[in-house]
Amino acid sequence: MSYQPIHQPPPMDFRSKSMRLNTLRRSVMNHLITALSILATLLVIAPLVAILAYLIYKGASSLNLAFFTHIPAPVGEPGGGMANSIVGSGIILGLSSLMGVPIGIAAGVYLAEFGRGTLLANAVRFTADVLNGVPSIVMGIAIYSLVVMQQKHFSALAGGVALAIMMVPTITRTTEEMLATVPHAIREAALGLGVPKWRTAISVSLRTASPGIITGCMLAFARVAGETAPLLFTAFGNQFWSFKLNEPIAALPLQIFVYAISPYDEWHRLAWAGALVLIVLIMVSVTLVRIVANRGVLKGAS
Amino acid sequence: MGVGIQVENLNAWYGSTHTLQDINLHIPANHATALIGPSGCGKSTFVRCLNRMHETNPIARATGVIKMGDLDIYKDASPVEIRRRVGMVFQRPNPFPTMSIYDNVASGLKLNGFRNRRILDETVERSLKQAALWEEVKDDLKKKSGASLSGGQQQRMCIARALAVDPEVLLMDEPASALDPVSTSKIEDLIFQLKSQYTIVIVTHNMQQAARVAENTGFFLNGKMVEFDSTHKIFTNPSDKRTEDYITGRFG
């Protein structure tokens, strides 16, 4: 066999004028695009920083120990706090996560691992997408007639159900999307070892996709944590302590709403403080879950 | 110990594509058998029929009889049982990325509910030694993820993972095609040692590799098995013109 000589391009002269111009143009373009990306990043962060700064400016001065330990004071009396609302929000969100997270993840696993292409899967996916677009006030009215009317009174449970239904679509769709990113080769590895399909779905696919699924759950949690409208006709709010699931219960967003539309300056200040506490609590709980979820991740894991 | 495999009138389809046509073949126990042929000729489909992975694809279908010893794998057992007895190593290393090296190797046992720590420890050590990886990883077994190893190490870990469930047959679908020459020769040495204990079926694009590791070789073309004979005969004196054309590099 004879070898054909490979055509060689003329050597490049990096000092020629056109070459230097070209280099300059590329370098300018590079800096320009980098600057634009940084600018866009700042624009994204700016609103969050602005909101947080304004909340601290308006609300921090009203924060004291009593805010976290006392229930609201009667009209006309100074002081009082939101202790019952903080605990109430915790109870409602705990309930909704307890119901929404397992159902959402299970539905997502069905969509990605078992139901591909089936009629039921398409129906579930469509329902989830529509449910995601239902205004939260509509969700409140729906749960009012489905749960509250049946129970004949407002309750923490009804509030939990309303928020759980709002969490499910987000969790289902992120679970499905995250499972879709798990390479098929990894499932085949498990099936090839004689692991049953259900076990592969749970111990291999779900486990591999778990960081993304946890992010999805946190997004859903953070979104419903600040919801007021679905709680208006379900949890209703409460000026006193309540730990019973079948009684009206206080919640931070409801208390903020009540105080913010009141005519009293003192209450306005407390509403600002409540908003600050709400946003900080959401940030803290999301961070905590991330820290717990990242424990035990191995060196070099991808 | 390995077990022989008898394949009778095997046909397989993907949708309407007839990928395997009337395959008849005896794979002897405790030997290495190589399958060669151009891309898309049905070699991979064939080995995937041997452990019933073929049917995990919803549009795939197979007919015919495959006997492992006396066991008809399509009639007498569930796919899950068959896959425990017929291990598989894939073309690209596919470690479980969230698991440690130890858990990767033990996964076949652990995911099937086996919990005895002492036996798990022993099995992991034995399998990693069989796969010639023990010395390189013994200090990081539970600290490092399986995905942190190099490509060649990952593939040997996948072999250890397949060996840990103590299969009788080991299927290897181009196990070295994604690896560098040093890793490739390590895998070949491994096949050479393992074939005394397991029946090995290896799909390969590399004809020198088939010649080095296998006693018998089958040549596949367009979904049919053209020729099956001792490796020596296939590479020195093939009886079919098409086999000769392929191994002398005239096509494929």
Tens digits of per-residue pLDDT, B170-204?
999 999 888 888 888 888 998 988 888 999 999 99
Q: Is there a contact between B94 and A183 if contact means CB atoms under 8 Å apart?
A: yes
Closest CA to A215 of A101, A53, A73: A101
Half-sphere exposure of A49 (CA within 13 A, CB side): 6
**Span A3-27, pLDDT tens digits:** 666 777 777 777 788 888 888 999 9
Same domain, A106 and A224: yes
Q: Are A266 and A78 in contact (CB under 8 A)?
A: yes
Minimal CA separation from B107 to chain A, in Å: 8
Same domain, A134 and A93: yes
Strands of B60-68's sheet, edge to edge?
A: B17-27, B5-14, B60-68, B71-72
Residue A117 lies in a domain: yes
Interface predicted TM-score of the whole assembly (ipTM), two decimals: 0.89
Closest residue to A208, CB basis, from B97, B144, B148: B97
B219-234: average pLDDT: 93
Closest CA to A259 of A246, A275, A247: A275
Closest residue to B96, CB basis, from A194, A196, A204: A204
Residue B53 with chain A: CB contacts under 8 Å: 188, 191-192
Same domain, A185 and A96: yes
pTM, to two decimals: 0.85
Same domain, A191 and A57: no
Q: Are A166 and A101 in contact (CB under 8 A)?
A: no
Closest CA to A272 of A281, A284, A259: A259
Q: Are A187 and A204 in contact (CB under 8 A)?
A: yes
Residue A13 lies in a domain: no
Residue A16 lies in a domain: no
pLDDT of residue A256: 93
Minimal CA separation from A168 to chain B, in Å: 26
Q: Is B108 on the interface with A (CB under 8 A)?
A: yes
- Angstrom distance (rounded) from CA B63 to CA B9: 8
Q: Is there a contact between B53 and A185 if contact means CB atoms under 8 Å apart?
A: no
Q: Is there a contact between A207 and B98 if contact means CB atoms under 8 Å apart?
A: yes
Residue A189 with chain B: CB contacts under 8 Å: 90, 94-96, 158, 161
Q: Is A6 on the interface with B (CB under 8 A)?
A: no
Task: Judge whether residue A299 has pLDDT over 70.
Answer: no
Tell me the percentage of chain A whose pLDDT exceeds 70: 96
Neighbours of A132 (CB within 10 A): 13
A186-211: average pLDDT: 93
Same domain, A246 and A115: yes
Q: Is A1 on the interface with B (CB under 8 A)?
A: no
Residue B97 with chain A: CB contacts under 8 Å: 186, 208, 301-302
- Angstrom distance (rounded) from CA A170 to CA A220: 6
Helices (H), chain B: 43-50, 79-85, 101-110, 117-130, 134-137, 151-164, 181-194, 207-213, 231-236, 241-247
Using DSSP's 3-state secondary structure scheme, residue A116 falls into: coil
Q: Is there a contact between A302 and B145 if contact means CB atoms under 8 Å apart?
A: yes
A254-278 as b/e: b if 16+ CB within 10 A: bbbbbbeeeeeebbbbbbbbbbbbb
Q: Which amino acid is at A254?
A: L
Q: Is B97 on the interface with A (CB under 8 A)?
A: yes
pLDDT of residue A94: 95
Residue A87 lies in a domain: yes
Residue A299 with chain B: CB contacts under 8 Å: 140, 143-145, 148
Q: Which residues are CB-neighbours of B72 under 8 A, at least 6 positions away?
A: B65, B66
Minimal CA separation from A197 to chain B, in Å: 9
Same domain, A141 and A200: yes
Q: Which residues are CB-neighbours of A12 under 8 A, at least 6 positions away?
A: A19
- What CATH number has the domain bearing residue A196? 1.10.3720.10
Using DSSP's 3-state secondary structure scheme, residue A242 falls into: coil
Closest residue to B144, CB basis, from A193, A196, A299: A299
A154-158, A284-288, A297-301: the lowest-pLDDT one: A297-301
- Angstrom distance (rounded) from CA A90 to CA A84: 10
Q: What is the DSSP string of B92-127?
A: S----TTSBHHHHHHHHHHTTT---HHHHHHHHHHH
- Write out the E strands in A156-266: none
Both tokens of A71, joined, read 């229930």
pLDDT of residue A301: 60
A287-297: average pLDDT: 83
Split at pLDDT 50, 70, 90, the class of A77 is confident
Q: Is A9 on the interface with B (CB under 8 A)?
A: no
Minimal CA separation from A299 to chain B, in Å: 5
Tell me the percentage of chain A whose pLDDT exceeds 90: 67
Q: Is there a contact between A299 and B56 if contact means CB atoms under 8 Å apart?
A: no
Range of A98's domain? Answer: 65-294
Residue A190 with chain B: CB contacts under 8 Å: 96, 107, 111
Same domain, A223 and A96: yes
- Please list the helix, strand and coil fractions of chain A in percent, rounded to the nearest 5, in that order: 75, 0, 25
Same domain, A52 and A93: no
Q: What are chain B's domains? A: 5-96+167-247 (3.40.50.300)
B65-93: average pLDDT: 91
Residue of A114, A193, A197 for testing the chain B interface, max B β-carbons within 10 Å:
A193
Same domain, A202 and A258: yes
Same domain, A141 and A49: no
Domain count, chain A: 2
Helix (H) or strand (E) holding A138: helix A136-143
pLDDT of residue B250: 77
Average pLDDT value for chain A: 90
Length of chain A equals 302
Residue A251 lies in a domain: yes
Q: Is there a contact between A301 and B97 if contact means CB atoms under 8 Å apart?
A: yes
- Angstrom distance (rounded) from CA B89 to CA B174: 8
Same domain, A189 and A246: yes
Residue B104 with chain A: CB contacts under 8 Å: none
